Structure 1
Amino acid sequence: MFNDIGPLELVALIVLAVLVFGPDKLPKVIQDVTRTIRKIREFSESAKSDIREELGPEFKDFEFEDLNPKTFIRKQLDNEDLGLKEIRNGFDLKKEMAEVTDAVHSRESDTSSASSAGAAGSSGGRIDMTKKPETPDPDDRPPFDADAT
């Protein structure tokens, strides 16, 4: 329950509890807190058993931890009946990404070489800032969509 509390934090909590409740009331407060935690756990366990009884005999081995999506996926991936290990091992994600990257880079180099060959005097795909920018044709406007505005 308190796995992420360090020793310094625990000492700080104890000192704070002694200051707030005092050394004479502190044991009674600790007993009350532990009793409350115990009752909450008992209530939780009885609720779980009631739900298992209501679900019927086919859900006797049902665990509420299985409702956590990470736990559910982990159990399903470990299940041999589904054959998911073969699917997971059937493709190499790094290899697929490398192929896609190579395809994109080759396409970019093809388009840059075609544009540099078509434009005489252009220096490696750079924009010539001395030329005046082309003005768009007023008849060549994008379509207007009244619903989109």
Structure 2
Amino acid sequence: MFENLNWWEIGTLLLVALLIFGDRLPAVISDGLRMLRNLRNMARNATGDLSRELGTDIQLEDLHPKAFIRKHLLSEEDEQAIRKPLEGTFEKLRSDLTDVRREVDDVAASADIRPSTAGSTGGVTASTPGTGSDVPPAQRHAFDVDAT
């Protein structure tokens, strides 16, 4: 819980807690620990009740809908049967996306499109050698830069 705090920060927090709570600090700490224990017991009891109602051994991690379906409703064979048709589609989509990225990079290179450093919008501008800022906006972009 406190792995990202160093000793100085923890000491400062304890000093601030001592200043705020004063003599009541031990009672506040014990109340906080008691509340944490009660919350853990409530979660453990809820998990036990749910396991009894469902008739299976269930963990808190299993309450995520995907994990619940994968563990309790689908067998290994069912899961593979569902994944198999989608794997080919996923690979085709990945290769199509790679082709589109390559085409966009080619268009960007041929139109000499580079990031804008002058404006605060952080957009993309096209520069055509020999032309100034009098180029109409419709001709500045070879593609819709906001579409990505």
Give the alignment's TM-score, normalised by structure 1.
0.47
Q: Point out the structure with max Rg over C-alpha.
A: 1
Structure with the larger strand share:
2
Q: Per chain length, whose mean CA-contact separation is higher, i.e. which structure has more relative contact order (CA < 8 Å, sep 6+)?
A: 2
Give the alignment's TM-score, normalised by structure 2.
0.47
